[in-house]
Amino acid sequence: MRENPPSIALRLHRELTEAWSPKPGLGRLAAVNHSVIGLRFMVTAGVFFAIGGVLAMLIRAQLATAASPFMDEGLYAQVFTMHGTIMMFLFAIPLIEGFAIYLLPKLLGARDLAFPRLGAYGYWCYLFGGLMLLAALAAGVSPESGWFMYTPLSSGTHSPGINADVWLLGVTFVEISAVCAAVELIVSILKIRSPGMSLGRMPIFAWYMLVVGAMMLFAFPPLILGSILLELERAFDLPFFDPERGGDPLLWQHLFWLFGHPEVYIIFLPAAGVLSTLIPVFASQPLMGYRAVVVAIVSMAFLSFGLWVHHMYMVGISHLAMAFFSAASALVAVPTAIQIFAWLATLAHGRPRFTVPMLYVFGFFFVFVIGGLTGVMLAMMPFDKQAHDTHFVVAHFHYVLIGGFVFPMLAGLYYWLPHISGRFPVHHLSKPAFWLIFIGFNATFLVMHFTGLLGMPRRVHAYAADSGWEIYNLISSVGGFVMTIGFALVLIDIISQSRYRRGFRRNPWKATTLDWAMPTPPSLYNFASLPHIDCRADMLEPDRIGNELAAGRGYLGFVREGRMETLAVSMASGRLEQVVQLPNDTWLPLWTALATASFFIAMLAKLYWVLPFSVAAVVILFLLWTEKSAQTSDAGPLPVGLGASAVPHTEAPNAPSWWAMLLTLAADGTLYASLLFGGLFLWTSAPGWPSAALPEISLALSVFAASALVAAGALGVVAARHAGAAPRGMLMASATAYGLAMFFLMWMAFSGTPDRMGHALSAVCFVVLCYVAVHAALGAVFALYGAWRVHRGYVSAQRALDLRIGRLWHLYTAISGVLGLAFVRVLIALGSGGDAL
């Protein structure tokens, strides 16, 4: 007797629930599902936002009156530094990550992201890094040099305690999370989509997050490098930023703002993606100018990386350079305007519904346009010289970030809250909360423009009573507390709506995207079966599609041997390519994050003997992640439903993990390029060059090391090409060559740079050689691990993913190693004033 459709759907739901069910109790800490991890990011970011808000109120209490005794200068410095650090590193970026991790699989028609364990590991790194910073705040040793940590103020001479070390290590720990999120989001958007969803059919939010992921991938490495170099200077006295020993404090500013200016757009673009998703829904009109908006956000990303000197007009750069960066800073207004006009055109062609999310949208338009106009003013060099380091800049900054980020994200929160909670909203408190935030915000920061124009500098804890600033500061402080009451009402409103409102079945907003084609709150597997998309994915019929998918009339409408599966497609066309087997809940991300935390804590405590054990633990734990993917036989194409079949990702030539390694190396290469740029910058700009004591790097050892790196890389590449021939011997020989290269490199690093604490030239050469040596060591790990996998029978001509991933590392290590050795010799020649050429 045939089952009827409802019973088939119920049986499929039970099987999927059994396969995807989380562990009970404390076992939920082992969860890796994107919905769980995304919500954790968002809730944790909300907690940090509340802490940062309390610090902001302390600042406003201090500045409300002249010469206030509320806080002394040292405590005030810690408070404003932690306020900025929390809002930029612990709230804004992680909240973006949380939204994207939670929403993207639902918008793309997938069951999870490409690397659930990487997302979980990123969350724990974010949490532990944030807790390091909060613990320092509670202990009174938090950083006090500003959230930008300018040198030489943050150097060991002027900040001798551990305050600056807490910032450098804690923020770098958090940035690991951002890089992990960038890799995961880019690969997931490009590969883990519903079949048929080409790039031109993706929902607009996915385009925004794809661009943001790429920006995060290339923007964070320069700051990571700067943090490493400054910590090396503070811990081991390597003089990268000390002008008396061949360093230059401006190197920090260049590295910081190579990250800092793109970060403004990293924060704004996801919020703009929320607007591009919401406005068409409430206007009942598809987004106008879809392709123009895509071009605008891509161009904005490129422009954002060419504007970092916008923040450095006062450091003495040439007039020609200032003119270039001033023009580029004004030019970025063009793609911003394209998006704004697309939103206005969508509203003009539709019939807007004025709901609470739309209140925040209109609040965004008002606030962000003011922030954009003042931004254009500050982009002009003559005006920037007048307003530089005044409260005018603070006001502009908050108008852009709160107007361009917080207002849209609150709109998105109210829009997707029914999706998360499964309860339909009743907005009794929502509207008063909006008006308190809107009025309080403008009272706080609009007036701050006037104090800036009257000359009030930033980062001062007191001012004279006859300065004429007191009344404006009092108004700002009152407005700040009004805004805080509004945010408190939002919190109460969200809790009440999540717990006490009536439920609903599906799609209360009449949206046209896949995230509403599922029951709410969603199951951990999102879709009972996966759709085929044949039109733009923000012009669908979620009600009809949802019923079909729930009945199993799509791809993967079954459970295969209890596995958790989703599909991967070709990047451009969306053609079905692979079946991706997803990992079950595991404690490994948590243990790996704890091992990573031990490294940073040991650095902070100056227990340097612990560091090798921490690194070894991290490497071993990451290798254990691959244990579940081990197969001793080829599976071949697997049926996926709708008459289609696809190979498992472990047998595909372009599996998601291969792309992940490629992107990781892109981030690594950006850090490396920043290091080489730093060396050349010091040669051209730092005082004290040429160096009196040159590094003594042997030409013969350099040739031996380069030859060993090339040989090791070539053996690794050839082994991957002959995976079916069990190339264990080649891989062992590759590991041996890496070991020789590492020995030569470390010998040159320590014996050839005796003056590394006396001059930046030797310090740069030392770090470049150590960078290449570390990569050689990891190359040996890849080779030995590949040999072990071959020995266990986990590798064949089809199952060669491990060796193909290793091949990327071998190629990169050989090329970067030879480049690094050549760079060292050239830099020594340049640093000698040309005498060594």
* Of the listed ranges 553-557, 722-726, 790-794, 815-819, the one predicted with least confidence: 722-726
pLDDT reported for residue 655: 94
Q: What is the DSSP letter of 423?
A: B
Is residue 837 pLDDT above 50, yes or no?
no
Asked if residues 122 and 97 have their Cβ atoms less than 8 Å apart, the reply is yes
530, β-bridge pairs: 555
Give yes or no for residue 67 having a pLDDT over 90.
no
| Residue 644, C-beta contacts closer than 8 angstroms, at least 6 positions apart | 195, 555, 576
Q: Are 312 and 258 in contact (CB under 8 A)?
A: no
Query: Residue 510, Cβ neighbours under 10 Å: how many?
Result: 12
Percent of the chain whose predicted confidence (pLDDT) is above 90: 80
Residue 314: pLDDT over 90: no
Whole-model pTM? 0.96
Burial of 680 (0-12, 13-18, 19+ CB in 10 A): middle
The answer to whether the CB of 174 falls within 8 A of the CB of 147 is no
- Mean pLDDT score, 679-700: 92
pLDDT of residue 647: 95
15: which 2 tokens?
Answer: 């099987």
pLDDT on residue 327:
82
pLDDT band at 499 (very low <50, low <70, confident <90, very high): confident
Q: Which residue has the tokens 């994200």?
A: 409
For residues 34-53, give the mean pLDDT: 97
Distance of CA 80 to the CA centre of its chain: 23
Q: Tell me the C-alpha distance between 177 and 170, whole Å.
A: 12
The Cα–Cα gap between 90 and 267 comes to 12
The pair phi, psi for residue 580, each rounded to 5°, is -100, 120
Q: So what's the pLDDT on residue 1? A: 42
Respond yes or no on whether the N-terminal peptide bond of residue 221 is cis (omega within 30° of 0). no
Please report where in the chains the tokens 């998006």 appear, as a residue.
339
User: Could you tell me the two tokens for 8?
Assistant: 């088939």
3-state class (DSSP) for residue 711: helix
Q: How confident is the model over 156-173, as pLDDT tens digits?
A: 888 998 999 999 999 999
Q: Listing from the earlier edge strand, what are the strands of the sheet with 644-648?
A: 564-569, 576-582, 644-648, 638-641
> What pLDDT, on a 0 to 100 scale, did the predictor assign at position 331?
87
Strands (E), 537-634: 564-569, 576-582
pLDDT of residue 2: 52
Q: Of 59-63, 125-129, 830-834, give the lowest mean pLDDT range.
A: 830-834
The pLDDT-based confidence of 576 (bands split at 50, 70, 90) is very high
Q: Are 549 and 522 in contact (CB under 8 A)?
A: no
Average of per-residue pLDDT across 791-807:
92
pLDDT digits (tens, 9 = 90+) for 390-435: 999 999 999 998 989 999 999 999 999 999 988 877 788 899 999 9
- Written as six digits, the tokens of 507 are 């799609």
For residue 163, which of 66, 82, 244 has the smallest C-alpha distance? 82
Over 70: is that where the pLDDT of 4 sits?
A: no
Q: Which of 3, 2, 81, 97 is nearest to 44 (CA)?
A: 97
d(CA 332, CA 270): 17
User: Smallest Cα–Cα separation from 768: which of 276, 341, 306, 232?
Assistant: 232
CA–CA–CA angle 147, 303, 333 (5° rounding) = 90
pLDDT of 334 higher than 60: yes
Catalogue the E-assigned strands of 642-777.
644-648
pLDDT band at 633 (very low <50, low <70, confident <90, very high): confident
Which of 122, 102, 121 lies closest to 112 in space, CA to CA? 102
**Phi (first) and psi of residue 187, to 5 degrees:** -65, -40
> So what's the pLDDT on residue 5?
64
- Asked if the model's pLDDT at residue 307 lies above 90, the reply is no
Q: Is the pLDDT of residue 79 over 90?
A: yes
Q: What percent of the chain has pLDDT over 70?
A: 98
